[in-house]
Amino acid sequence: MLNDTLLEITQKLAKVGSWAITYGQGRTLYCSTAMLEIFDYPAGTALDLEQIGRHILPAYRSIVLDHVEHCRNSGNPCDIEFEIDTILGTRKWIRIIAQSEQDPDAGVTRVVGALQDISMQKQNEQEQRLISDRLLVTLENMSDAFYLLDTQWHVVYINQAALKLVERVGKPTTGYVLWDEFSYLRETPLYEGFYNAVRTNTPFHYEYFSNRMNNWIELDAFPSPEGLAVYFHSITERKLMQQRLDQAQHMESIGKLTGHVAHDFNNLLTIILGNADLLQDLYQYHEQGRRLAGAIRSAALKGSELTRRLLAYARKQQLAPRALDINELVKSMRELLVCTLSVNIKVTLLVQHNLPAALVDEHQLEGALLNLSINARDAMPKGGELTICTSEIYVQEDEAKQYPDFRAGHYVQIKVKDTGTGISQENLKHVFEPFFTTKELGKGTGLGLSSVFGFAKQSHGHATITSQPGVGTTVHLFLPVSSEPVRAANEKPELPSGGHETILIVDDDEMVRNAAQAMLSTRLGYEVLAVSNGETALSVLKNNREIQLMFTDVMMPGLNGHDLAQQARELRPELKILLTSGFINPSLARPDQEETEFPLLPKPYSQHELAKALRDILDRTL
């Protein structure tokens, strides 16, 4: 009795009932209390096979009966799962297992078995299946490549992103060993990394360039008892962006350096050029003295050209852009190019008719084209052909993205092409950097292409270069199209003479200060006062009302030229002011402001340029 009670309790807790069908004169069904409870019947209810059969869903009814009959007739056990509706209308999943028994004494056959409510198990399986399906959809649609390895290194799953990266057509059959299918991986750090990840049960991270996939790859492998889950994706774009950022920072640092070098050099050239002008005046009746002064002046002007190249690279030179007919400029330079280049170099011009005007500084563009032509000449020591082409071009977004700081849009393109020795791909990466040159020692400053690049960028355009060793080099200049029609450049008025006004010079460099004072007083006749800093200048302006113009350097310690000019104008509203700077760009002393209301005379300046700038301001009404 106790055993029967324990059996019923056990069956109830396990949701397992027992049953038996006795085949004799008829069919008799026995159901345990636990089975009746599964069908939601009260204990002691008598059921027959037909009643039980009505609870089985129609889709499974004949299948269940066939399995039970087959078990009875064949003696083989049966095991089947199906769905029922209980007497209360509750849908349940049922599993029955059964076997047949013979009772010779009674002359009957019995099929006895167990019945279990597996609804919870089926629900869990369904939920796991849904999770698995969702995970599969996620893995198939995510951008990361993914594959699974078992503990024997068999590939048990690989997603579409992985197939795309390895450029496989169609999905390969899983089950192959990774190291057999991709044997070259045994020679890479992935082989040791995967083994260590599994052995130590720690994730593995690795970045590498894959020649097979032609991409930079970032890979993460996560070990588990089942094997290894591997995620990887291309980081080529990120690498390129980082390289561009590093290059931009590198170029910006060099740009700042060259700008400061040019500033200091321009101060020295101002002294040299100013004194050379004074010497020429002093020795106007002395041929040898005048010639020596002229040589000094010519050397200073060449030095000035060098600083302009530095500033062009640093994008700090002052441009005077206007609507320019590029075709006319190129045609006008033909004779100059023919004279400059070797006789064995053919010059060809290919210009597009109806080319729109470009917004560009004419003199800077002439210098850039001459610079490129000389580079082409040096690349063709045995002769060749220099071709200059002009065309209208619309740069699309995807094309512009290939280069840092290049905007899509409407441009006038100038191509300067030679048939020279060409440039290697390694050197091609550096040709726009200052002081980089492939020429022999003493035959190049390394500022030519960098200044052309700086000029193009400051003109809101761009420059690119392509080359092939033994074939030649082509430089592409992209210049913005002008919205204004072409106009002739204004003719320069005659240089004015000096004057009698009182001028205050402010410059922290004593030699520059003395040179400017000598030019203004000795030759031009002005009354000149000179001080070394802004604070002293303000004090002088307060005490001397005769000063009509202040000529001040921009970059000075303490009170810089911009702030001095503002405070001087507040103190003396009628005061005329002229700025000067070796940086040329007047905003450099105050990076937060791009423009200034005060005119600027770039250093180095000659006596004539200084005289003209002063007279222009002194004769102007505030």
Please check whether residue 54 lies inside any domain of the structure: yes
Residues 349 and 304 in one domain: no
Domain enclosing residue 199, as ranges = 142-234
Asked if residue 556 lies in contact with residue 507, where contact means CB atoms within 8 angstroms, the answer is yes
The answer to whether residues 227 and 253 belong to one domain is no
Residues 345 and 462 placed together within one structural domain of the fold: yes
HSE-CB at 600 with a 13 A cutoff on CA atoms is 23
* DSSP secondary structure letters along 578-592: EEEESS--TTTT-TT
Can you tell me whether residue 173 is helix, strand or coil? coil
Query: DSSP 3-state assignment of 572?
Result: coil
User: Is 180 domain-assigned?
Assistant: yes
**pLDDT reported for residue 591:** 43
Burial 430-441 (b: 16+ CB within 10 A, else e): ebbbbeebbeee
Identify the domain boundary among 314, 330, 364.
314
Token pair 């006596």: residue: 607
**Same domain membership, residue 393 and residue 331:** yes
> Global pTM?
0.41
- Count of structural domains, the chain: 5
The last residue of one of the domains, among 208, 234, 260, is 234
The residue among 592, 539, 601 whose CA lies nearest residue 564 is: 539
Q: Can you give the pLDDT at residue 444?
A: 45
User: Per the domain annotation, does 347 fall within a domain?
Assistant: yes
Instruction: Quote the pLDDT of residue 129.
Output: 75
The burial of 111, by beta-carbon neighbours within 10 Å (0-12 exposed, 13-18 middle, 19 or more buried), is given as buried
pLDDT in tens, 326-380: 999 888 888 778 877 878 889 899 999 889 999 988 877 887 888 888 888 888 8
The rounded radius of gyration (Å) of the Cα atoms in the chain is 46
CA distance 446 to 432: 9
Contact (CB, 8 A) for 116 and 16: yes
Half-sphere exposure of 203 (CA within 13 A, CB side): 9
pLDDT at residue 230, rounded to an integer: 87
Whether 334 and 462 map to the same domain: the answer is yes
Q: What is the DSSP string of 95-154?
A: EEEEEEEEETTTTEEEEEEEEEE-HHHHHHHHHHHHHHHHHHHHHHHSSSEEEEEETT-B
9 assigned to some structural domain: yes
Residues 344 and 425 in one domain: yes
> Is residue 70, in this structure, part of any structural domain at all?
yes
- Shared domain for 459 and 390, answered yes or no, is yes
For residue 80, the model assigns a pLDDT of 93
Amino acid at 212: R
**Quick one: pLDDT at residue 143?**
64
pLDDT value at residue 586: 47
Strand-pair category, 462-468 with 204-210:
unpaired
pLDDT at 603: 78
Q: pLDDT digits over 91-132, tens only?
A: 999 999 999 888 777 777 889 999 999 888 888 888 777 766
Same domain, 329 and 451: yes
CATH of the domain at 196: 3.30.450.20
Same domain, 250 and 189: no
Note whether residue 492 is domain-resident. no
Please classify residue 9 by burial: count the beta carbons closer than 10 Å to its beta carbon, then call 0-12 exposed, 13-18 middle and 19+ buried. Answer: exposed
Q: In angstroms, rounded to a whole number, what is the distance separating the alpha carbons of residues 74 and 83?
A: 25
How far is Cα 478 from Cα 551, in angstroms, rounded to an integer?
Answer: 38
Q: What is the pLDDT of residue 594?
A: 42
User: Which of 480, 510, 545 delimits the end of a domain?
Assistant: 480
Residue pair 478/456 in contact by the 8 Å Cβ criterion:
yes
In a domain, 127, yes or no: no
Give, in degrees to the nearest 5, the angle at Cα 19 between 14 and 21: 165
Same domain, 8 and 109: yes
CATH number at residue 614: 3.40.50.2300
User: pLDDT digits over 554-586, tens only?
Assistant: 888 888 888 999 999 999 999 999 998 876 554
Judge if 472 and 330 occupy the same domain.
yes
> Do 415 and 537 belong together in one domain?
no
- Parts of the chain with a pLDDT under 50: 1-3, 169-170, 313, 315, 440-446, 489-495, 586-595
Answer whether residue 584 is part of any domain: yes
421: domain CATH number is 3.30.565.10
